Amino acid sequence: MKFSANLGFLWNDRPLPAAIKAAKEAGFDAVECHWPYAVPASETKAALDETGLKMLGLNTVRGNVTIGENGLSALPGREEEARAAIDQAIQYATEISAGAIHVMAGNSSGPRARKAFIENLVNACDNAGSDITILIEPLNHYNAPGYFLSTVEQAADIIREVAKPNLKLMFDFYHVQIMGGDVTRRFEAALPHIGHVQIASVPDRGSPDHGELDYSFTLRRVRELGWAQPIGAEYLPANGAVPDLAWLASFKD
Ligand SMILES: O=C(O)C(=O)[C@@H](O)CO
Ligand SMILES: [Mg+2]
């Protein structure tokens, strides 16, 4: 299997270009991040070019994080800000040839929120073009209480309704296990919609070699089902930002 280092959590104690180089030295096949915007895209691109790693994805900004905002795209009345966040992400992703943008929904619920989310996703898919995948990710209700999107089934409904070929599901096993479990069957059912896969141990969101999910089984099944893209290692290192990587050698090709 191939793995992508999620630099939102791994090596997040250093500037993004240095984190990209650390991921390369550690043997990752790709990288992904959360919010790279403080670093000029030219600097991120230079590190990607130097290491030969691809940036698989980045997120749209969350809004006012000091009051707990967690995305803008499913917030009725905030359409202008949501569009600006999507435009910003598309521009950055284009400059660094990133593969995907995770459009963050935000904390909301109900039909007006759904309508706003769908309209923003249509706009994101149309403006991103065919080289950039737009991702939506269900988040669990412990880490993201009140988040608009919490299950893969809800996300699949939205993907069907938006009906754009470049809209896909971010299937994060950590969140999916917490929100109902049965992860292997649900992965298989969602497979046609999946655009990226992420992992972490449950419930502590640590390295994927412990906890209630057995990734040596789960990832074997993921591979048997034909998934060949790098899997995002999105976990919280046990001792700060430098990750424990014993798991990587045992899971990698
Ligand atoms: O929290 C996650 O899981 C993610 O993948 C992030 O991109 C959302 O902040
Ligand atoms: Mg995730």
Condensed to tens digits (0 to 9), the pLDDT of residues 213-228 reads: 999 999 999 999 999 9
ipTM > 0.90 for the complex:
yes
What is the rounded distance in angstroms from the CA atom of residue 70 to the CA atom of residue 52? 32
What is the rounded distance in angstroms from the CA atom of residue 108 to the CA atom of residue 112? 9
Condensed to tens digits (0 to 9), the pLDDT of residues 199-215 reads: 999 999 999 999 999 99
- Max intra-chain CA distance, the chain: 48
- Strands, E assignment, the chain: 3-6, 30-32, 57-59, 100-102, 133-136, 167-172, 194-199, 231-233
Condensed to tens digits (0 to 9), the pLDDT of residues 11-39 reads: 999 999 999 999 999 999 999 999 999 99
Is 70's C-beta closer than 6 angstroms to any atom of ligand 1?
no
How many angstroms does the Cα of residue 149 sit away from the middle of ligand 1? 12
**Which residues are designated catalytic?**
137, 234
Mean per-residue pLDDT over the chain, rounded? 97
Is 102's C-beta closer than 6 angstroms to any atom of ligand 1?
yes
Q: Which tokens is 152 given? A: 């893969």
How many angstroms does the Cα of residue 175 sit away from the middle of ligand 1? 9
Residues, beta carbon < 5 Å, ion ligand 2: 172, 198, 234
Q: Please return the burial class of 42, using the count of CB atoms within 10 Å of its CB with bins 0-12, 13-18 and 19+.
A: exposed
What domain range is 213 assigned to? 3-251
CATH of the domain at 232: 3.20.20.150
Condensed to tens digits (0 to 9), the pLDDT of residues 110-139 reads: 999 999 999 999 999 999 988 999 999 999
* Domain count for the chain: 1
